[in-house]
């Protein structure tokens, strides 16, 4: 800002001791007014030359800039830097200090328009604040003399650019971004929409709480859900158990029964003579041609050692000891499962009088003919196992066969009894009986 506001009183102090803004006094006669007085002889060409400021000598060194911070130009910054003295002087820039203005004129208000210098062509708008970040150096003129506001192009220096990194998150995110491995920050979650009622009206906080509570399941609903899940789990477990009992136990029993049959035939082929049969030891093979059954016969009726392995058990324990097929008289009584675990006797209720049952041993083939049956009797009725079975119709000693199993199917409430009598005793050397050949 150059103009009349830059005039300074010549001479010593201002009128009134230079105290205070707006204090006026009469100008002394020897004071020079550059606007009204003619240019003095031998003076400089600049109208701002002061008689009490002699021209600088050629040999005088240029004063170095004072130490201190360099402020960028701006409306509220420090006084603009000045350059070294030249042939003429620029007007003193306006600064918001009282000592720079004549006592007879008030200090002008800060101006925000373009700055006008002594040279009409040297006008420039007030520079805008430096944006951040910046990528180019800033050229700042270093002051060469106090009070001068011009900058010598030769005395300017480039300040390094100040690059402000963009705010992309924490230190780890910035490091990843610098290495090219960073990921884009997740989008913020959308704000929850305010709760509204059926009519579109926004609910109050109390109404929203009541609506949320109403949406929660009641204890009865939770209990019914838990009970339903328990029933579903129980149903799945029961289904698996039934599948195991009706299917898998038969598969395993058939495998074990087949292995026992092969072992028995192998022992016969090796000429091994049996002594006293141990519980669970196989000693014979029973053939029921009408039912297409071929199953090994083992000693004893143990459920775990004999019956559950798909074999037929011979009653030979305690008071239920029965005769062997080779005995001259007696009742050869056996038992087997009707359902599950191989179920060898499942369809013995289909046997009719005259059907044949062959018991094969190491020495001979014993053929029995079915004579009668007892559809149902309690498990405690052991009289059916006597040498002359009760209820069979036999009245005198003989060589008899008794088949026992559970009834009805899939239960063990009662027993089903089928009787037969021996009709053929053929040594193995004579070959198979007609019942097996046919």
In a domain, 221, yes or no: no
Tell me which range, 32-41, 84-93, 196-205, 307-316, is most confidently predicted by mean pLDDT. 307-316
Confidence bin at 25 (pLDDT 50/70/90): very low
pLDDT, residue 1, reads: 41
Same domain? For 169 and 261 the reply is: no
Which range is least confidently modeled, 212-221, 230-239, 296-305?
Answer: 212-221
pLDDT, residue 201, reads: 79
Q: Could you say which DSSP state residue 435 is in? A: H
Same domain? For 15 and 135 the reply is: yes
Same domain? For 172 and 259 the reply is: no
Same domain? For 287 and 432 the reply is: yes
Same domain? For 287 and 428 the reply is: yes
Give the residue among 287, 283, 288 at the shortest CA–CA distance from 299. 283
In a domain, 91, yes or no: yes
In a domain, 401, yes or no: yes
CATH code: domain of residue 259: 2.40.260.10
Same domain? For 146 and 263 the reply is: no
| Active-site position among 287, 337, 341, 399 | 337
Last residue of a domain, one of 176, 191, 222: 176
Q: Which residue did the predictor score with more confidence, 164 or 250?
A: 250
| Active-site position among 7, 14, 50, 415 | 415
Query: In the predicted model, is pLDDT for residue 175 greater than 70?
Result: yes
pLDDT, residue 196, reads: 75
Neighbours of 355 (CB within 10 A): 19
Backbone angles phi, psi at 49, to 5 degrees: -70, 135
Active site residue 399: no
pLDDT, residue 276, reads: 77
Which range is least confidently modeled, 109-123, 161-175, 180-194, 232-246?
Answer: 109-123
pTM of the complete model: 0.52
Q: Which residue did the predictor score with more confidence, 33 or 182?
A: 33
Active site residue 215: no
134 contacts 158 by C-beta, under 8 angstroms: no
pLDDT, residue 391, reads: 92
In a domain, 130, yes or no: yes
Q: pLDDT digit string (tens) for 63-109? A: 555 555 555 554 554 555 555 555 444 555 554 444 444 555 555 55
Query: In the predicted model, is pLDDT for residue 137 greater than 60?
Result: no
The string of DSSP letters for 282-339 reads EEEEEEEGGGTEEEEEEEB--TTTTGGGTPEEE--SGGG----TTSSSEEEEEE--SS
Q: Which residue did the predictor score with more confidence, 248 or 43?
A: 248
Q: What is the largest CA-CA distance in the chain?
A: 177
| Active-site position among 2, 7, 338, 406 | 406
Average pLDDT over residues 135-154: 46
Active site residue 415: yes
3 state SS of 254 = helix
In a domain, 220, yes or no: no
Same domain? For 167 and 259 the reply is: no
In a domain, 235, yes or no: no
Query: In the predicted model, is pLDDT for residue 220 greater than 60?
Result: yes
Same domain? For 159 and 289 the reply is: no
Same domain? For 131 and 270 the reply is: no
Give dist(CA 190, CA 175) in Å, integer. 28
The DSSP H or E segment spanning 261 is helix 249-269
Same domain? For 267 and 382 the reply is: yes
Last residue of a domain, one of 120, 151, 176: 176
Which range is least confidently modeled, 238-247, 274-283, 395-404?
Answer: 274-283
In a domain, 408, yes or no: yes
Q: What is the tally of structural domains in the chain?
A: 2
Tokens standing for residue 78: 């420090």
Q: pLDDT digit string (tens) for 386-432? A: 999 999 999 999 999 999 999 999 999 999 999 999 999 999 999 99
In a domain, 121, yes or no: yes
Same domain? For 32 and 160 the reply is: yes
pLDDT, residue 313, reads: 96
Average pLDDT over residues 134-151: 46
Expressed as residue numbers, the domain containing 60 is 1-176
Last residue of a domain, one of 176, 198, 217: 176
């Amino acid at each position: 800002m150059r103009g009349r506001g830059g005039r300074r009183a010549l001479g010593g102090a201002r009128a009134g001791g230079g105290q205070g803004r707006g204090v006026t006094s009469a100008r002394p006669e020897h004071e020079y007014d550059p606007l009204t007085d003619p240019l003095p002889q031998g003076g400089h060409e600049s109208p701002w030359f002061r008689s009490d400021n002699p021209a600088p000598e050629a040999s005088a060194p240029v004063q170095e800039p004072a130490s201190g911070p360099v402020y960028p130009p701006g409306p509220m910054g420090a006084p603009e830097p000045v350059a070294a003295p030249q042939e003429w002087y620029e007007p003193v820039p306006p600064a918001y200090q009282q000592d720079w203005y004549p006592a007879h004129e008030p200090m002008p208000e800060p101006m925000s328009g373009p700055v006008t210098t002594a040279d009409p062509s040297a006008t420039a708008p007030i520079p805008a604040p430096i944006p951040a970040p910046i990528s180019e150096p800033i050229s700042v003129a270093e002051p060469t003399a106090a009070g001068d506001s011009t900058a010598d192009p030769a005395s300017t220096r480039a300040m390094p650019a100040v690059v402000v990194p963009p705010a992309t998150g924490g230190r780890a995110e910035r490091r990843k971004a610098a290495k090219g491995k960073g990921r884009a920050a997740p989008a913020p979650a959308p704000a929850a929409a305010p709760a509204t009622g059926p009519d579109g009206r926004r609910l109050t906080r109390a109404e929203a709480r009541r609506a949320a509570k109403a949406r929660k399941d009641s204890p009865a609903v939770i209990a019914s859900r838990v009970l339903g899940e328990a029933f579903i789990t129980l149903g799945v477990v029961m289904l698996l158990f039934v599948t195991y009992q009706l299917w898998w136990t038969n598969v395993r029993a058939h495998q074990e029964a087949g292995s026992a049959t092969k072992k028995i035939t192998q022992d016969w082929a090796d000429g091994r003579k049996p002594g006293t049969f141990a519980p669970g030891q196989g000693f014979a093979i029973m053939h029921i041609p009408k039912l297409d059954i071929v199953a090994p016969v083992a000693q004893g009726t143990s459920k775990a050692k004999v019956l559950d392995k798909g074999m037929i058990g011979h009653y030979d324990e305690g008071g239920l000891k029965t005769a062997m097929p080779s005995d001259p008289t007696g009742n050869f009584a056996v038992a087997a499962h009707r359902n599950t675990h191989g179920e060898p006797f499942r369809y013995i209720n289909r046997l009719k009088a005259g059907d044949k049952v062959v018991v094969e041993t190491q020495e001979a083939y014993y053929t029995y003919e079915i004579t009668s049956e007892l559809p149902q009797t309690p498990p405690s009725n052991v009289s059916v196992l006597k040498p002359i079975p009760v209820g069979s119709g036999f009245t005198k000693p003989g060589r008899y066969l008794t088949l026992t199993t559970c009834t009805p199917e899939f239960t063990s409430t009662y027993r089903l009894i089928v009787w037969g009598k021996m009709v053929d005793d053929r040594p193995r050397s004579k070959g198979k009986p007609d019942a097996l050949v046919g």
